[in-house]
Structure 1
Amino acid sequence: MEALGLNEIRERYLSFFESKGHLRLKSFSLVPHNDKSLLLINSGMAPMKSFFTGDEIPPRKRVTTCQKCIRTPDIDNVGKTARHGTFFEMMGNFSFGDYFKPEVIPWAWEFITKDLKIDPEKIYVTIYLDDEQAHELWRSVGVEEDHIKRLGKEDNFWEHGTGPCGPCSEIFYDRGEKYGCGKPTCGPGCDCDRYVEFWNLVFTQFDRVENGDYLPLDHPNIDTGMGLERMATIMQGVDNIFEVDTIRHILDYICSLCGEHYGDDDQKDVSIRVITDHIRSVTFMIGDGIMPSNEGRGYVLRRILRRAARHGRLLGIKGAFLYDVAKEVIAVSGDAYPEIKEKQETIQKVIKIEEERFDATIDQGLNQLNAMMRAMKEEDPDNHIFSGEEAFKLYDTFGFPFDLTKEIVEEEGYTIPKEEFDDAMNAQRERARTARAQNDTAVWADDPFNPLGPDAVDTFVGYQKLKADAEIIGLIVNDELVQEAHQGDDVLVLLNQTPFYAQSGGQVGDTGRIESEDGSSLIEVNDCRYGSLKRHIHYGKVVEGDFHVGQTIYTHVDETKRYATARNHTATHMLQKALKMVLGDHVEQAGSFVSPTRLRFDFNHFQPMKAEEIKRVEEIVNQAILKSMPVETFETEIDKAKEMGAMALFGEKYGHIVRVVKVGDYSIELCGGTHLQNSAQAGMFKIIGENGVAAGIRRIEATTGMNTYRWAEKVEGVNAKASAMVKAAPDQLIDRLQEMEDQLKEKDREITSLKHQQADSEAGELLNKIHTVQGVKVLIAEVKVEDVNEMRELSDMMKDRMGSGIVVFGKADADKANLIATATKDVVKKGFHAGQLIKQIAKTVGGGGGGRPDMAQAGGKKPDALDQALVQAEDIISEQIAEQ
């Protein structure tokens, strides 16, 4: 057995299955395409689910891939064990109704024993209890009987709800007795570290239906998964994934940054492993366009990145460093995944920005923790238990680790019940699981026309024309397939051909009409969306007459809306090009929306655009429009399109043959949307908004054509109204507003001066009310001020004039009373506590409050009781000072 590097193992696997007639596909994005059941791609087969279900036609019936994957359910174990990780690569070979067990089992054995040269005596396999075919095939290739183990449904039968499923066969490597548990029952499937499962062959041969029956599939499939990192541990003879060559390279670089030697300190090793794993996930996620945010996959990214940053602090690393480690991930994986090499600058920028923001965030957590402890000491000095629920709030809100909270509070003499923290954590996980269960769709997605079979498909003719005759091949009313639909019915319609564009790639679906041949019946179509097999499902309402399956009808796309949408879509392409020209090549689309009224374009950028940058982008796009360039659309092979410089737009899934949209010599992109024939048809382009939507993501909203005219008309109307209100001609509006602003500033200065004079006058009167209590100067009074802020300022002024003493002020409004108490530090040392004073007298005015020993304030609903509260204040002050 050769000590092969991870990159070499990957290449050998893919080359081996290419030699068996498989098409090598590059890894799909970590962002699932049209699959709401997954947040992130977590297995090799997940991106190809539509090929297995028949919703999409695969580029070939035999495919092999090495898929990048993210899994986070066990994130808390990452770093603590030798095998847990959030990022991994899954190699697989797949058959979509082509070959089956008689081919895949001999191939697997050949690759393991001939290509990798692993000792056959080290190999064990498991099979499903009654899978006799798999048993005979393993025996036929040379596996001894005592190396085959039968396991039950839990271990060796793959299914997920209803849909395709079947038995599986797992392949194990025996690491030797020294890794075993010593039990007589030890064998493949044991929890010890002796037998390592590295390849799973899934034989998808049944269709599980709603009643629980398993129906044989006409065309069984093969789905296999081999963990690349796990295979590398075997081939390199190391104990865990962190010692594999490429991963160890990253780990060693982290050690060089923190000055630690891996293996010397168990606790520090945990932090080193966490960072090593997490930076791989972060690099690949950002490489696939995921940006840090507070929801969805962006939240997963943020959590992983911040968890790694926290462990950097634990290792003593100061400031941002993960962005630097990312380049080492790219160095060892960039050849296999060129997208991260191409986007290295963007990846490092995003990571650095998020690290710097986290530095501020964790400082907020420290401030919050300190505030919690101060409040606890004030409320109950004898309490030495810090709530586990409060610790969880710090973790959940600020990303503040429990271990750090525990360390800090223990220094202050507190303990934390870990079980309370765990209970709060488990409760949150349960809420998340419940939410996922409610939001998930079935793994094997369905569409309402699937019962009609795979032949019930349509042809899209909307690139060439907006009207076409067609035949109705399916109707759905009230979620049921019907033969007829009648006036008043909300209906879903499937036609044999259609000019209606289905919502895709950020472009909305077409609207329009479906009419009977004689014009007596009408369906108003309000949307068009894709179903399985790229079916165009028309959503509408029967407003006149009746329709039936088999009927010949006429379709009419709303021409005005279609062309307005096309203007915005072509302008989106021109906008992206202009943004790259003005802001830099790091600009990449992160989302889009194209409708008849506007376009929305999300893109990577790290700060708000300057006014001059927005203006320049507008100029470039409008100049491109005025050049009256032809807009060409054509199909070609994806590799040829990329050689031409075509850019891929976010959200699109590309096959071998792609559609290219080319605007003169200005821009070229891959896109399946509808477009103009000439750039001049876009009319005027206008950016009407630019703002941030997530860390490192900006959003532009813009209009074209008549929508820009209407926008300008609206702005002109607003300017005219504003000019009339300030009695100025439109061209003198700015000068008039500046004049009014100067006048307001002068009036504000006059008001401030008068307030200061009034305060000085009132301060003079208040000085006469100062008296002593227990030898301390005290000022207690009701004051006439406009608001609480003025009361606070006056309180500070009087305290400064007194030099030493206590100030208690009250303010009564029609329906509310406000109280404030302040004191100098020397008086606090004598026993005065403003917070406790306010807490007691606030009850008298029907309220509550508190604060620090030197300053506190409160409010209440009984202004009539203010005098009584102020009388109480003097008694409480006397008691507090006398006690010392």
Structure 2
Amino acid sequence: MLKLTSKEIRQMWIDFFKEKNHYYLPSASLVPINDPSLLWINSGVATLKDYFSGIKIPPSLRLVNSQKSIRTNDIENVGVTARHHTFFEMLGNFSIGDYFKKEAQKWALEFLLDTLKIDLDKLYFTVFEEDEDAYQIWLDLGIEKDRIIKGSRKTNFWDVGLGPCGPNSEIFYDRGEKYDPEKVGIKLLKEDLENDRYIEIWNLVFSTFNNDGKNNYTPLKSKNIDTGAGFERLVSISQDAPTNYDTDLFLPIIAKIEELSNKNYVIENYFDNEPIQKEINTAFRVIADHMRSSVNAIADGVEPSNVGRGYIIRRLIRRSYRMGIRLGIKSQTFLHKLVQAIHDALIFDYDIDKVSKIIEEEEILFSKTIDSGLKILEKELERTNNQINFAFAWKLFETYGYPIELTQEILREKNIHLDISEFEKYREMHVERSRSKKGLAMKNVVNSLADIKSKIGEFIGYENLNSTSKILFLANQENEIDEVNGEAFLVLDKTPFYATSGGQKHDQGYLQQGDGKIKVYEVFKDKFGNHVHHVNGKINKAKSIDAFVDPNNRVNLERNHSSTHLLFKALREVFGSEIKQLGSNNNENRLTFDMPANKKPSAEKIAEVERLVRHYIDLDVTRTYSNTDVENARKMGVIITIEETEYMDPSNVRVVSFKNITSDLCGGTHISNTARIENFKITSVENKGTGIFRVTAVTTHKLVDKFNKSRLEKIKEEIARLKKNILEYESHFKFKKIEEDDLELLIDCLIKYSEELKESLKTVIKNNSKKVDDKINVKNYIKNDQLFIMNLDVDDSIITNQAAALRKQNKTAVVLLSSNKNANSNKFVITSEEKDVKQIWNELAKNLKIRGGGNERMMQGVILEKPNYEKIEELL
């Protein structure tokens, strides 16, 4: 595949479809016009709905765009995963009753193979299992059968519940085995498993039917094409970057954050996963992503506020500000200094000074919020004689926007302990609810509109995994109802489904009424402790309903929850009884445990903890339950890790015991005996900041073996990499010795090509007002057509484009450009069409104060000193 800049890829997309007679629509505002159903423009087609519906006449039946978009439903994943963003661009080509599948599929393949020069062997295709037309078209275009995967309605049918819908075909790019550490292979794609190897780069939706909202489908009079390609993903693949953040869309922003924070962003952390650097990288990514959203939204007229879109932007800016604090940035304002870099990395024009001013004002306001929050906290400490509970910490966070990390740091300085397990419980509930605006609205119905005045339902799931129950409450998004065919919330008189609470995830399973199975999406507790089931199906409140919990999922939840208790016991044995549980989370795949520590626990200590937990498992101890009151539980030595009066009735609390190991106050479900846990392995110990470390672990022989095999493969890869580096360094030093004899040839080449170089520079910086002779301040070195070194008296914003242009004109050369606009910090770029500049950058970094990142084609960042070109020449 061609190594391209983001600007080149975007323009290639637009030019390609313009040649196919598509009308180019510049990106619309992020703020929807006359569309109350959307908070933000969140896709390429979102601005075109009136054309597809016939309300407006389109400028052409064929359209192409690159639409800026915002989505904030997965904000907690941003910065953590390789591809989640709040701000992104969607490349789209559309047909409104004009061409259909044959042309759409043909042009998609043509663009990828002929324009971007992607190898066909890197591509896989999915089609809806009933769409024989799309399947045959791919075959006719030369795609082999084993590269076409037939998907189900769940994976390959585009339907939002109302309006145009139809089958879709996706194109995936295979990034290779280095992004598949467990060597799972094509199973990842065939079974739709989350992975970083097979990346969806194009989705072709064939709008064929109309859904009336009740799942009645009728054929559309004119069939449409709605396709979308992920811009950031195409850029990432072209630049061979581990994540979307390691491209020229983000690295200039990250370089500026490095300058402000004096911390380094390390691209290789994707592969080595070192925990401390992982936390640093995450902070960099969150800031870069959130500020891209904030800058572009403000440019489109949205200002930070406490309502609607303004509240979203305020939240993004403040989350970025907190990440800046985490990176050690001390300045009261710093985010506004990123606006220029964000502007230069994209194509959207706006008043940079105006946007910067709005962001700086918001930073000042938030810094005052932090100051006022401190005063509120100190006042509460005085009022309660230094007794702060989770409820106040949550109020300080949720109501005043005061970061919990700062609350913990202040309390720690005063030697006050805050048990934040309940705080984390509230945060978890908040995250779950915010993932779906619709779901949040329905939960509010349960809490505010329902005629429920007390606890009316009973949980019977300790002893039973199924039941026949009565429906006591049934609601849709608007009010309480008697029957429904769709999404709803219900409360049963008795249920075997455990509701998310106490760090344990809800059960999975289904309900059944008559012949119809009803999917249970989640189960949570309302304010009275009733287990509320979020479901989708046909339900009649007057009829009884059967409930079935998935037994395999339940036993995995129980294994991990019981292992959390055993882990807590082992931690107290190894580190001392002062160890506290600051939070835990158990699902069917893994468990986490948050603990306080001044420094990361040693590998030897962690190994001892593991050994103890395995020992407890091997003892084959039976689990027992008992009930008592809180005071008696304390006298019995029961471990109480939560605000018991909030969690349970203090006069009747539940104690879970594994005899001679541990007894804990707990309302969760647990394994019948420790032997059924099988095995235990700590997979990571991460620094969560402010003296908190998170222990993550897996259980069962299967998952432990899977983790061990993955670790072994990583070790093998690291050994191979080190061997390769040794050979490369040996070769490098031999080559360097030979080059020292080429000084006369260097001088001859310098004279010969000097004038040609000046002429090429005039083209590269044609947008500058000064002549190129004024721009070149220092030297132009040409060595066997292999090396260009230039220092330019130009703005940082054009250095990258100049380097890319020179690289194209001199494909065999290494191009090194820097600016001299600032005294202590200047843009620094190394690029080459054929040579690995990443290795060159790493060598220079040993002797120069350079910060940044990139890939083997282009590295860019800043040099934190006045460049010494004689020294650079010597190093190269």
How high is the TM-score relative to the length of structure 1?
0.47
Relative contact order, higher structure (CA 8 A, sep 6+): 2
**Larger radius of gyration between Structure 1 and Structure 2:** 1
